[in-house]
Each structure stands twice: as C-alpha cells, then as structure tokens.
Amino acid sequence: MRLWTAAWSNGDAIPAKYAAGRLEPDGRVVVGENLNPPLAWADLPAGTRSLALICHDFDVPGVADDVNRPGREVSAELPRVEFFHWVLFDLPPQLRGMAEGEFSRGFVPGGKPGPETLHGARQGLNDFSAWFAGDPALAGRYHGYDGPWPPFNDALVHHYVFALYALDLARLPLEGSITGARLREAMHGHVLATATFSGTYTLNRRLLDAQ
C-alpha cells in the first residue's frame, strides 16, 4: 500500500498553507489557511473494507513552561509527547484520495463540527480540543483536520506523520467522543496494511533563517 502527496516530498518541509499557524515576515504568528493537503493512495490489500487516516506530531514539548514565551526557547532536549492533528475513519475503500482543502479550509475558533463528514466517513477530535480548553476565545470541540501550529520558540523542528490504515471492517464500533487513542484501540486486530508519509514544520525564525 502506498500513500503520497504532490504538495511536498516525503520528509520535506510542509508548505505553510497546510498549517493552522504561519509566520509573518515581521515575526508575528498568525492563523494560517489550514487547508488539508491533497493525498492519494494505491495498492490497497485484498479484503479492505474501510480506511482510516491519522495525522500526528510526535515532537510536542512534554513540559509547557517555556512554550510561546518571548525571549525564551524551548529546549530540544525536553521530553516530547504525541499530538493528534487529524483522526479520520470509515472512509470507503473505493476512494483513492482527497483534494486540497476538501476536508478543511481555514481555522475555526471553537472547532469544526463532527463526527460526520464527507464520503460517509467520520472524524474524531484532534488535540487542539485539549490545547485550547483553558482559552475562553478558542475552547471547543475540534473535529477533523487542524494543521501544524508548533510553538514559535521551539528549538526542535516538528515532524508530522500521515498514516493510512486499510481495515477489514466497514465501520468501526466507535461512538461518542473519539480521540486518536480510541481510534487506535478500535483498529487493533483489524489492520491489513499501513502506509505513511511525513513532513516537517517550524515557526522558529532562528531555525527558518538557518535553512
């Protein structure tokens, strides 16, 4: 099974239009276009009855003391944790990809609705739901895709992995608040094949100037 995008080469920098946060020339971080990238896949195994897609960042600082604090930089040596950006499942096996911006256009304060979405699929909650929980202006239930928005002062470039799963179930037995962890648990024992594609992203001006 193969997964790819025409928007960037595997492992390269993700274009800013696919991010929830982008850097202005004057150094300000502003809301991005937040388009879902165009994705395509092929060579699904026999017996595939549905597809699931997860996008996650495994470079999120495990300690948030210095996150987004001017004059400070988050150490690259800090322990890192996982952050889910997209939890999509029950995609029909006849589907062979998705267009740019088909599932997400723009960042919606409070989150996009769900879980029902295009093609009869469902979308779970991404981790911006927890990240913004204490912010009255942004708190909400963030379904679907919300792209990269790493700390602007993180010394580590973040890596984002898109993982596609071919499943032997047409519909996963999931109801209620569906997180990335719950999706992985429900898929256990039903995965026929997996394909991944990755990219990097940073809002740290020092790192960008060094590229």
Q: Which domains does the chain have, with CATH numbers?
A: 2-210 (3.90.280.10)
Residue 104 has pLDDT above 90, yes or no: yes
Exposed (0-12), middle (13-18) or buried (19+): which is 42, by Cβ within 10 Å? exposed
Tokens at 192, concatenated: 């026929």
Round the CA-based radius of gyration of the chain to a whole number and report it: 17
Cα–Cα distance for residue pair 193/68, rounded to 1 Å: 38
pLDDT of 35 reads 98
Residue showing tokens 């990240």: 131
pTM score of the predicted model: 0.96
pLDDT per residue as tens digits for the range 140-172: 999 999 999 999 999 999 999 999 999 999 999
pLDDT per residue as tens digits for the range 46-83: 999 999 999 999 999 999 888 998 889 999 999 999 99
DSSP for the chain, please give it: -EEE-SSS-TTSBPPGGG-SEEE-TTS-EEE---PPPPEEEE-PPTT--EEEEEEEEEEEES--TTTT-TT--B-TTS-EEEEEEEEEEEE-TT--EE-TTSS--S--TT-B--SB-GGG-EE-B-THHHHTTT-TTT-S--BS-------TTBSS-EEEEEEEEEES-SS----SS--HHHHHHHHTT-EEEEEEEEEEE---HHHHHH-
Interval 129-141 mean pLDDT: 95
